[in-house]
Amino acid sequence: MYDTITAISSGNVNQAISIIRVSGPEAFEIVSKIFTGKVGKDKTLTFGKIMDQKEVVDEVLVAWFKGPNTFVGEDTVEINAHGGVVNTNKILGLILANGARIAENGEFSRRSFMNGKMDLVKAEAINDLIHAKSEAQTKLSVKKFDGRTSKLIEGLKKKMLNIIATCEVNIDYPEYDDVEQLTTENLLPALKEIEKEITNVVNVSNSSRAIYEGVSVAIVGKPNAGKSSLLNALLQEEKAIVTDIPGTTRDIVEGTLQIGQVLLKLKDTAGIHNTEDKVEKMGIEKSITEISNADLVIHLIDSKIGETKDDEEIEAASKGRPYLKVWNKNDLAKREGISISAKENKVTELFNAIEDKFKDIDLNDERIVYNTRQLSLIKAALISIQDAINGLEMQLGPDTVIIDIQKAWDDLANILGKADQEDLLDSMFKNFCLGK
- Statement to judge: residues 304 and 195 lie in one domain: no
What type of residue sits at position 294?
Answer: A
Is there a binding annotation on residue 238? no
How far apart are alpha carbons 177 and 170 in whole angstroms?
Answer: 10
Can you give the pLDDT at residue 247?
46
Asked if residue 244 belongs to a known ligand binding site, the reply is: yes
Instruction: Please give the Cα distance from 349 to 428 (Å, whole number).
Output: 61
Helices (H), 145-183: 148-172
Among the listed residues 340, 343, 333, the one whose alpha carbon sits nearest the alpha carbon of residue 303: 333
Burial of 301 (0-12, 13-18, 19+ CB in 10 A): buried
**Distant-in-sequence, close-in-space partners of 185: CB < 8 Å, separation ≥ 6:** none
189 is in an annotated binding site: no
Residue 229 assigned ligand-binding role: yes
- The answer to the question of whether 247 is labelled as a binding residue is yes
Q: What residues make up the domain containing 285?
A: 214-358
Residues 203 and 219 grouped into a single domain: no
**Residue 436 is assigned to a ligand binding site:** yes
pLDDT digits (tens, 9 = 90+) for 301-319: 888 888 888 888 888 888 8
* Domain contains 366: no
Domain presence at residue 421: no
pLDDT tens, residue by residue, 134-167:
777 888 888 888 788 888 999 999 999 988 888 8
Domain end: 329, 358, 387, which one?
358
pLDDT reported for residue 254: 74
246 is in an annotated binding site: yes
Cα 137 from Cα 369, distance rounded (Å): 12
The annotation status of 23 as a binding-site residue, yes or no, is no
Low-confidence ranges of the chain (pLDDT < 50): 239-251, 424-425, 427-436
Cα–Cα distances in angstroms (integers) from residue 211 to residues 127, 248, 295, 369, in the given order: 18, 31, 10, 12
Same domain, 196 and 218: no
Q: Decide if 424 is inside a domain.
A: no
Question: Would you give the DSSP letter of residue 401?
Answer: H
78 is in an annotated binding site: yes
Q: Is 88 known as a binding-site position?
A: no
391 in a labelled binding site? no
Q: Is there a binding annotation on residue 225? A: yes
Does the annotation flag 268 for ligand binding? yes
Specify the CATH number for the domain of residue 24: 3.30.1360.120
Q: Are residues 218 and 346 in the same domain?
A: yes
Flag whether 243 is marked binding.
yes
pLDDT of residue 127: 84
Residue 269 marked ligand-binding: yes
404: in domain? yes
220 & 331 share domain: yes
Cβ neighbour number for residue 389 with a 10 Å cutoff = 19
Task: Establish whether 159 is an annotated binding residue.
Answer: no
% helix, strand, coil for the chain, step of 5: 45, 20, 35
> Could you tell me if 271 and 256 are in contact, meaning their C-beta atoms sit under 8 angstroms apart?
no
> For residue range 236-286, what is the model confidence (pLDDT) as tens digits?
765 444 444 444 444 457 788 888 777 888 888 877 766 666 666 777 778
Burial of 360 (0-12, 13-18, 19+ CB in 10 A): exposed
Cα 89–90–93 angle (5° rounding)? 85
Task: Give the CATH number for residue 231.
Answer: 3.40.50.300
pTM exceeds 0.95 for this model = no
CA 397 to chain CA centroid, Å, is 39
Express as a percent the part of the chain with pLDDT over 90: 36
For residues 175 and 230, state if they share a domain: no
Q: Is residue 100 part of a domain?
A: yes
